A = this chain, B = another copy of it.
Amino acid sequence: MKVTVTITLKPGVLDPQGRAIEHSLLSLGYQDAKEVSTGKLITLDIDEDDENRARQKVAKMCETLLVNTVIEDYDIHCLVADEGDEA
Contacts and interface: CB of A to CB of B under 8 A. Distances in A.
Interface of A: 6-8, 18, 21-22, 24-25, 28, 30-48, 57, 60-61, 64-66, 84-87
Contacts of A60: 30
A44 B48 contact: no
Given A36-B43, A39-B43, A85-B87, 14 more contacts: A6-B41, A21-B65, A22-B44, A25-B65, A30-B61, A33-B44, A33-B45, A33-B46, A33-B47, A33-B57, A34-B46, A36-B44, A40-B41, A87-B87
A77 to B, nearest CB: 9
A41 B37 CA distance: 8
